[in-house]
């Protein structure tokens, strides 16, 4: 794709937008950038060095562009974008742009929950099996940021969200993985059907030479399989497909061969069994031998902010699942624990329905600690099912849980909400959680050294 001299506007200057600007500049495009917020000083200086003009976002900014490239966080139906399309301007997303320049095959992984773990695990398996791979997309480096390091013999393993997929046109995954589809991001997509359709784009751009790895147990994924252009390979936790990955006799099987015992998978929860099935199937199709996949899974260190064990303080465990940004993810997190829970919920609502949390919280939680903008909505939908503590902030929630918890309890951050009301993103929220847990640990250790200090007693 020759973009030399093409006037391109990049909308949204978070990580993906910045990566798109850098890629476009390297290809000789005439680049401008815009965002609703002023730039931080370091990024402003980078743009200046690249010769890129930045302006705050107004309708006028969208004029005089041949192409417009959107960051995932920018809604694709903004009126200035619709007006640009009517003028004949090409409007694409950052992932579509990356697809023009990525060398080597793409493994694209989407779903409402489990994308990050499955993507990281698939990349880990490939590398353990000696198959070159780089990992990015909605995890780590943006897709556009991987283009420079891509090679014809290397897999590009990409986590892909509905925001990234709704704007693809020709972007093509050699192996596309569909994990599950449950309601999420309805504040942006408006309906579940729109949300599912955005994810389905990953399979609609495939050809008969490609593979679609799909969850046979999920109704939406099963429907995608019926109309897929690619060759469908199933994975299932509840059935035993003739081809693909499944469970039988306490083991994970792949193409009829045993891969790993369930109790050797180093991640909590039945949802992580599904993620392992999906990653193993995708890696096998990319060339990893089944006998080596099990060993690779056993050595997987897990993913930060995804049911991440932080530490134990005086018999109380702290887990960080900041990546649980919707109700279904929080349900899966609750399913992974048997010990009494102090669950931290809340943040920015995405038009979620929190009532499915009532029954598991009633069974497992000593209390739900509510934070952020969604606290009152969550309280209204959970009222009577579990004791509610309106903590307001993450710090206050942790402090209260720590005061009330007893040895054998678990404090779990699994918010069921986006983070943007109080944090930059879910990663920022998870890091802050871990920092406060470390502070609590320091205080606890200090009181053990000084037994006469006042404070929480064991």
Which of 27, 115, 199, 434 is catalytic? The answer is 115
Catalytic site includes residue 185: yes
Which of 124, 185, 189, 332 is catalytic? The answer is 185
- What phi and psi values does residue 46 have, to the nearest 5 degrees? -60, -45
Q: How far apart are CA 96 and CA 354, in angstroms?
A: 34
Contact predicate 389/397, CB 8 Å? yes
Catalytic site includes residue 115: yes
User: Cα-Cα-Cα-Cα dihedral of 354, 355, 357, 362, to 10°?
Assistant: 140
Q: How far apart are CA 31 and CA 21, in angstroms?
A: 7
Roughly how many angstroms between the first and final C-alpha of the chain, as a whole number?
A: 65
- Point out which residues pair with 141 in neighbouring strands: 136
Query: CA separation (Å) from 156 to 102, 179, 281, 412, 454?
Result: 8, 18, 16, 33, 55
Which of 113, 138, 180, 326 is catalytic? The answer is 138
Catalytic site includes residue 189: no
For residue 323, which of 337, 338, 303 has the smallest C-alpha distance? Answer: 303
CB contact burial 223-251 (16+ within 10 A = b; e otherwise): ebbeebebebbbbbbeeebeebbbbeeeb
- Residues labelled catalytic: 115, 138, 185
């Amino acid at each position: 794709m020759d973009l030399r001299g093409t006037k391109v506007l990049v909308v949204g200057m978070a990580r993906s937008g910045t990566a798109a600007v850098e890629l476009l500049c390297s290809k000789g495009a005439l680049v401008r950038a815009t965002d609703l917020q002023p730039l931080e000083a370091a990024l402003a200086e980078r743009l200046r060095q690249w010769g890129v003009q930045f302006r705050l976002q107004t309708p006028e900014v969208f004029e005089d562009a041949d192409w417009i490239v959107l960051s995932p966080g920018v809604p694709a139906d903004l009126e200035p974008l619709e007006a640009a399309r009517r003028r004949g301007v090409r409007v694409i997303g950052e992932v579509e742009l990356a697809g023009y320049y990525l060398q080597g095959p793409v493994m694209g992984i989407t779903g409402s929950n489990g994308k990050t773990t499955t993507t990281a695990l698939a990349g880990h398996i490939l590398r353990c099996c000696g198959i070159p791979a780089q990992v990015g997309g909605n995890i780590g480096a943006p897709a556009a940021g991987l283009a420079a390091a891509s090679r014809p013999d290397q897999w590009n393993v990409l986590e892909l969200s509905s925001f990234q997929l709704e704007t693809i046109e020709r972007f093509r995954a050699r192996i596309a993985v569909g994990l599950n589809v449950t309601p999420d991001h309805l504040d942006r997509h408006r309906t579940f059907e729109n949300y599912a359709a955005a994810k389905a784009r990953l399979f609609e751009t495939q050809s008969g030479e490609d593979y679609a790895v799909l969850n046979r147990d999920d109704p939406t994924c099963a429907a995608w399989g019926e109309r897929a252009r690619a060759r469908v390979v199933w994975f299932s936790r509840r059935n035993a497909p003739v081809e693909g990955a499944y469970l039988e006799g306490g083991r994970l099987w792949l193409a009829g061969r045993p891969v790993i015992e369930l109790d050797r998978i180093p991640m909590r929860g039945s949802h992580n069994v599904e993620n392992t099935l999906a990653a193993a199937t995708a890696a096998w199709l990319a060339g990893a031998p089944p006998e080596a996949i099990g060993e690779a899974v056993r050595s997987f260190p897990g993913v930060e902010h995804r049911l991440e064990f932080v530490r134990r303080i005086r018999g109380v465990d702290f887990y960080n699942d900041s990546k649980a940004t919707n109700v279904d993810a929080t349900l899966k997190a609750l399913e992974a624990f048997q010990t009494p829970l102090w669950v931290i919920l809340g943040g920015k609502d995405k038009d979620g329905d929190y009532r499915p949390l009532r029954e598991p919280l009633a069974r497992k939680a000593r209390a739900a600690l509510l934070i952020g903008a969604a606290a009152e909505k969550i309280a209204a939908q959970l009222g009577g099912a579990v004791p509610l503590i309106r903590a307001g902030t993450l710090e206050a929630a942790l402090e209260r849980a720590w005061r009330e918890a007893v040895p054998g309890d678990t404090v779990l951050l699994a918010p069921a909400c986006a983070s943007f009301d109080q944090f930059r993103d879910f990663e920022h929220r998870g890091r802050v959680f871990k920092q406060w847990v470390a502070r609590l640990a320091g205080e606890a250790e200090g009181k053990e050294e000084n037994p006469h200090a006042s404070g929480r007693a064991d």
